[in-house]
């Protein structure tokens, strides 16, 4: 499936690369702006990974330039599903504008945060 053209999302604003790491882990790399118009571009591969039994989701945020409340809710929804399946959502290398949203809302407390991808990848 072409992740750049789901629904009415504008493809130039967000791109999501997806890579399965092992049987239970998925690496997702959103690049661009995660907001009301593009959130489905991340929600769909998160749901796909969880539906396939991959409950450890690593989201490399190093290319994420912006995240609004809709994007935050997508990640929170994935976290709830991943936790229920015995996994979790690991957020990596958040840029300051994105990290600020998580800090202000208190959402940083419910995710596992990593400074580098190397520390987030399964060992």
- pLDDT tens-digit map of 37-51: 999 999 999 999 999
For the chain, 123 residues long, give each residue's pLDDT as a single digit of tens.
344 444 554 556 999 999 999 888 999 999 999 999 999 999 999 999 999 999 999 999 999 999 999 999 999 999 999 999 999 999 999 999 999 999 999 999 999 999 999 999 877
Q: How far is CA 115 from CA 55, 60, 65, 98, in A?
A: 21, 10, 16, 13
Closest C-alpha among 40, 54, 48 to residue 7: 40
Going through 1-123 in order, the beta strands assigned E by DSSP cover: 14-22, 25-34, 56-60, 64-67, 88-92, 112-114
Q: How far is CA 36 from CA 1, 26, 33, 57, 81, in A?
A: 21, 23, 10, 21, 21
**DSSP-derived secondary structure letter, 107:** G
Rg (CA), the chain: 13
């Amino acid at each position: 499936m072409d992740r750049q053209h789901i629904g009415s999302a504008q493809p130039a604003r967000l791109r999501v690369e997806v890579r399965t790491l092992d049987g239970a882990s998925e690496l997702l790399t959103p690049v661009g702006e995660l907001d009301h118009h593009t959130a489905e571009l991340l929600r769909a591969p998160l749901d796909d990974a969880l539906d396939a039994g991959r409950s450890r989701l690593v989201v490399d945020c190093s290319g994420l330039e912006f995240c609004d409340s809709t994007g935050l809710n997508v990640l929170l929804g994935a976290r709830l599903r991943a936790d229920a399946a015995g996994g979790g959502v690991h957020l990596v290398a958040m840029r300051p504008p994105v990290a600020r949203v998580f800090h202000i809302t208190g959402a940083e407390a419910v995710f596992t945060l990593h400074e580098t991808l190397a520390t987030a990848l399964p060992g």
